[in-house]
Chain A
Amino acid sequence: MNSKNKNYVIKINEMHKWFGTFHVLKNINLEVGQGERIVICGPSGSGKSTLIRCINRLEVHQQGHIFVNGIELSGDLKNLEAIRSDVGMVFQSFNLFPHLSVLENCTLAPIWVRKMPKKDAEELAMEYLERVKIPEQAQKFPGQLSGGQQQRVAIARALCMKPKIMLFDEPTSALDPEMIKEVLDTMIELAETGMTMLVVTHEMGFAKKVADRVIFMDEGEIIEQNTPKLFFTKPTNDRTKLFLSQILNH
Chain B
Amino acid sequence: MVFDKNNYAPGTHPDLPPPPGTVGVVGWLKNNLFSSLSNSILTVLSLYLMYLLIEGSLSWFVVDAVVNANDKPGCRKIADGACWAVIVKRFDQFIYGFYPLAERWRIDISFCLLFFAAAPLLYPDIKFRKYMLVLSCLYPFIAFILIKGGFFNLLMIETNLFGGAMLTVIIGVTSIACSLPLGILLALGRQSRLKLVKVISVCFIEFMRGVPLITLLFVASTMLNYFMPPGTNFNLLIRVIIMMTFFSAAYIAEVIRGGIQAIPKGQYEAADAIGLTYWQTTRFITLPQALKISIPGIVNTFIGLYKDTTLVVIIGLLDPLGIGRAALADTKWNGLSTETYLFVAVIFFISCFAMSRYSLWLEKKLSTDHN
Contacts and interface: CB of A to CB of B under 8 A. Distances in A.
B276 A113 contact: yes
A88 interface: yes
A121 to B, nearest CB: 12
B273 A58 contact: yes
Contact of A161 (B275, B280, B370): B275
B291 to A, nearest CB: 10
A81 B371 contact: no
* Size bin of chain B's contact surface: 20 to 34
B270 A84 contact: no
Contacts of B368: 98-99, 141-144
Contacts of A232: none
Contact of A89 (B273, B285, B288, B292): B273
B276 A98 contact: no
B366 interface: yes
Contacts of A54: none
A89 B274 CA distance: 8
Contacts of A96: 270
A56 interface: yes
A99 B270 contact: no
Contacts of A222: none
B19 interface: no
Given A95-B267, A143-B369, A85 B275 contact: yes
A109 B270 CA distance: 11
Contact of A109 (B274, B366, B370): B274
A43 to B, nearest CB: 23
Contacts of A84: 272-275
A112 interface: yes
Which of A58, A88, A157 has most chain B Cβ within 10 Å? A58
B144 interface: no
B125 interface: no
A157 B275 CA distance: 12
A215 to B, nearest CB: 21
A89 B271 CA distance: 10
8 contacts: A93-B266, A95-B267, A98-B368, A109-B274, A112-B284, A141-B368, A144-B368, A157-B274
B269 interface: yes
Contacts, number: 71
Given A112-B280, A143-B368, A91 B275 contact: no
A97 interface: yes
A91 B285 contact: no
Contacts of B292: 99
Which A-B residue pairs are the 10 nearest by beta carbons?
Answer: A143-B369, A85-B275, A95-B270, A95-B266, A109-B274, A141-B368, A89-B273, A84-B275, A113-B275, A99-B288
Contacts of B310: none
Given A113-B274, A158-B273, 5 more contacts: A58-B269, A91-B270, A95-B267, A99-B288, A112-B284
A141 B264 CA distance: 17
B289 A158 contact: no
Interface of B: 264, 266-267, 269-270, 272-277, 280, 284-285, 288-289, 292, 366, 368-371
A91 B269 contact: yes
B270 A108 contact: no
B266 A109 contact: no
Contacts of B273: 56, 58, 84, 87-89, 91, 158
Given A95-B266, A99-B288, A99-B292, A58 B369 contact: no
A144 B370 CA distance: 6
Given A58-B269, A91-B266, A144-B371, A99 B366 contact: yes
Contacts of A95: 264, 266-267, 269-270
Contact of A81 (B269, B277, B289): B277
Interface string A95-126: 11111100000001100110000000000000
B289 A99 contact: yes
Interface string A134-154: 000000011110000000000
A143 B272 CA distance: 21
A84 B276 CA distance: 9
Contacts of B371: 144
B275 A81 contact: yes
A100 B366 CA distance: 10
B293 to A, nearest CB: 10
A158 B274 CA distance: 7
Contact of A143 (B267, B275, B366, B370): B370
A58 B275 contact: no
B341 to A, nearest CB: 43
A108 B276 contact: yes
Nearest to A89: B273
Nearest to A53: B269
Nearest to B292: A99
Interface string A41-63: 00000000000000010100000
A233 to B, nearest CB: 35
B249 to A, nearest CB: 24
Contacts of A158: 273-274
Contacts of B274: 84-85, 88, 108-109, 113, 157-158, 161
A58 B271 CA distance: 11
A108 B275 CA distance: 10
A166 B335 CA distance: 79
A98 B369 contact: yes
